[in-house]
């Protein structure tokens, strides 16, 4: 099961790069957070300073997933990429 999940996760990573349009910032933050939770696990360290807006947003988005199992984050990432693909297809 794990190999199949890893294969689907890797395919989803590649599919993100092939989306016809760049996702909006909210979608990018969600993708980032799900990816990091799936690959690294819970966020660690200090939140970036107030002047690092992008870093702070990424940290906050990832921190919201604290406690989510890595396998669960992989499934959520796969599902979210599929949703983005469906939305892109319906916008054509």
- In the block, which residue shows the tokens 């002047």? 51
Best CA proximity match to 80, nearest among 43, 32, 40: 32
CA–CA dist 25, 60 (Å, integer): 14
Question: In this predicted structure, what is the pLDDT of residue 63?
Answer: 97
The pLDDT confidence band at residue 91, using thresholds 50, 70 and 90, is confident
Q: How far, CA to CA in Å, does 53 sit from each of 21, 50, 56, 57? A: 23, 6, 5, 6
Which domains does the chain show, CATH number per domain?
2-90 (1.20.80.10)
pLDDT at 8 over 80: yes
The pLDDT confidence band at residue 1, using thresholds 50, 70 and 90, is low
pLDDT at 92 over 90: no
Residues 9-66 pLDDT 10s: 999 999 999 999 999 999 999 999 999 999 999 999 999 998 999 999 999 999 999 9
How many Cα atoms are found within 13 Å in the side-chain-facing hemisphere of 16?
19
Question: In this predicted structure, what is the pLDDT of residue 45?
Answer: 93
Question: In this predicted structure, what is the pLDDT of residue 68?
Answer: 98
If DSSP states are collapsed to H, E and C, what string results for 19-34? CCCCCCHHHHHHHHHH
């Amino acid at each position: 099961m794990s190999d199949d999940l890893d294969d689907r996760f890797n395919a989803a990573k590649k599919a993100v790069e092939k989306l016809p349009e760049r996702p909006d910032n909210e979608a990018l933050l969600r993708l980032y957070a799900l990816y990091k939770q799936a690959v690294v696990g819970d966020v660690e360290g200090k939140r970036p300073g107030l002047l690092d807006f992008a870093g702070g947003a990424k940290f906050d988005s990832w921190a919201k997933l604290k406690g989510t199992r890595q396998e669960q984050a992989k499934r959520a990432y796969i599902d979210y990429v599929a949703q983005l693909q469906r939305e892109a297809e319906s916008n054509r």
